[in-house]
Amino acid sequence: MSDNGGVAADQLRSFIERVERLEEEKKVISDDIKDVYAEAKGNGFDVKVMRKIIALRKRQPHEREEEEAIMDLYLHALGMAGVAASDS
């Protein structure tokens, strides 16, 4: 490894190149996800709702329940008690 001014240049270059490769892979995956959403939309599915469902599925049931309880509390405080949490 070269040592320029206390920096292990080869190791630093390796880290930078790895991150760059991962960023490229991330962009490809992001483009693939966009394509899937476009396909779903083309088949009549509501992409906004799909995104919400995916976000919900990532969370633990107790986290969702806690958020829903807080949202219900806030909706009551604003006089919007009959509004479903999914409508917001």
Does the structure show a pLDDT above 50 at 54? Answer: yes
Say whether both 54 and 40 belong to one domain.
no
Across 71-79, average pLDDT: 95
Selected residue with higher pLDDT from 41 and 4: 41
CA atoms within a 13 Å half-sphere pointing along the CA-CB vector of 30: 6
Note whether 9 and 25 are same-domain residues. Answer: yes
pLDDT of residue 33: 98
Residues 38 and 54 in one domain: no
- Residues 81, 56 share a domain: yes
CB 56 within 8 Å of CB 64: yes
On whether both 51 and 41 belong to a single domain, the answer is no
66 and 80, same domain (yes or no): yes
pTM: 0.67
Identify which has the larger pLDDT, 81 or 33.
33
* E-state strands within the chain: 3-4, 7-8
At residue 30 the predicted structure's pLDDT band, cuts being 50, 70 and 90, is: very high
Percent with pLDDT over 90 in the chain: 83
Domain boundaries, position 14? 1-45
**Are residue 24 and residue 54 in the same domain, yes or no?**
no
Q: Work out how many domains the chain is built from and give that number.
A: 2
- 31 and 63: one domain? no
Q: Give yes or no: residues 13 and 50 share one domain.
A: no
